[in-house]
């Protein structure tokens, strides 16, 4: 079985420290729970020539398009103020799709199996949280707030063990990229200017091409990223959105909202509201964003 979807992988041209190439772990009995037909049409991702079975196999990771280079990204992050080496522990970027207008978008699976960055985790996801991300990310988009999008959620036909046994699932996330603040933290650890420069050039080419004309590109990039992040947080604040885990690994340099874990919309205005069960001191409370 071959797929008619064609994907690129410019990220794989970065130095190898930034990723690990591997395929999704096959699942037993995938089934589409929800598919975002409107999003697929918006970005020109054409599934019309695929059978339901082929689409299901593709979105579960059981079928990888010919020429694709699936990879797990490496990055670091300050989590609750503590520096940690991280990476995609349960996610893989399947590849990059070019829209009819020329925009480059990542297709990422969440819950696609273990990676070198799993740190003891099972690499899987449960159905409830994946449906929650689907709903929340599409709600944010509807509110006009920059965000990753959700293309599909599938059940895997397998169980995952959390506090209880839960149905396993895979989310397909669409993002302008998965470059994070923590990706640069990871690069700086290597103390190799060439590695950081390669990432800097990649980020500028992908998200800030106008900066190529600037004399000091690094400074111009920092200023642009700060302004873009400020705009994003302003949008969160105006609708009462609380991210819940604003670690540097969960802040995308594309300026999009990423990682819908312990997040919520505040029902009643209370600046000290938190939505993370482990945020005991309110580090990521609404007012602290």
DSSP letters along 212-264, please?
GG-SSHHHHHHHHHHHHHHHHHHHHHHHTEE-S---GGGBBTTS-B---SS-E
Report residue 197 as tokens. Answer: 């420069």
The active-site residue, picked from 88, 249, 259, 279, is 249
Single out the residue of 199, 215, 240 nearest to residue 75, CA to CA.
Answer: 199
- Please, which residues have CB within 8 angstroms of residue 6's CB and are 6 or more apart in sequence? 65, 67
Q: Is 35 helix (H, G, I), strand (E, B) or coil?
A: strand
Query: Phi/psi zone of residue 110: left (φ > 0), alpha (ψ -120 to 50 degrees), beta?
Result: beta
Residue carrying the six token digits 């669409």: 174
- Given a contact cutoff of 8 angstroms between Cβ atoms, the answer to whether 256 and 150 are in contact is no
Catalytic: 272?
A: no
- Please, which residues have CB within 8 angstroms of residue 47's CB and are 6 or more apart in sequence? 5, 40, 55
What is the rounded CA–CA span in Å between residue 225 and residue 21?
Answer: 28
What is the rounded CA–CA span in Å between residue 260 and residue 244?
Answer: 9
Residues marked active site are found at 249
């Amino acid at each position: 079985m071959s797929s008619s979807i064609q994907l690129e992988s410019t990220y794989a041209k970065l130095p190898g420290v930034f990723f690990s190439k591997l395929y999704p772990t096959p699942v037993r009995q995938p089934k589409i729970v929800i598919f975002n037909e409107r999003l697929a049409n918006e970005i020109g991702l054409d599934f019309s020539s695929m059978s339901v079975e082929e689409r299901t196999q593709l979105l579960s990771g059981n079928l990888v398009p010919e020429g694709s280079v699936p990879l797990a990204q490496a990055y670091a992050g300050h989590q609750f103020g503590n520096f940690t080496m991280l990476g995609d522990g349960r996610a893989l970027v399947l590849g990059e799709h070019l829209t009819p207008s020329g925009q480059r978008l990542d297709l990422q699976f969440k819950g696609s199996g273990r990676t070198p960055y799993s740190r003891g985790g099972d690499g899987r996801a449960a159905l409830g949280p994946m449906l929650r991300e689907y709903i929340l990310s599409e709600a944010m988009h509807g509110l006009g707030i920059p965000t990753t999008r959700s293309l599909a959620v599938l059940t895997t036909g397998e169980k995952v063990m959390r506090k209880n046994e839960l149905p396993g699932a895979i989310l397909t996330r669409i993002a302008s990229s998965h470059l994070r603040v923590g990706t640069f933290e990871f690069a700086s650890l290597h103390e190799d200017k060439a590695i950081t420069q390669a990432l800097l050039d990649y980020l500028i080419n992908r998200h800030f091409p106008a900066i190529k004309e600037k004399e000091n590109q690094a400074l111009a990039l920092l200023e642009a990223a700060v302004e873009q992040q400020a705009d994003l947080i302003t949008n969160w604040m105006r609708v009462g959105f609380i991210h819940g885990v604003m670690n540097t690994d969960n802040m995308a340099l594309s300026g999009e909202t990423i990682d819908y874990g312990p997040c919520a919309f505040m029902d009643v205005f209370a600046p000290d509201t938190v939505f993370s069960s482990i945020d005991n001191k309110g580090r990521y409370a609404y007012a602290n964003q």
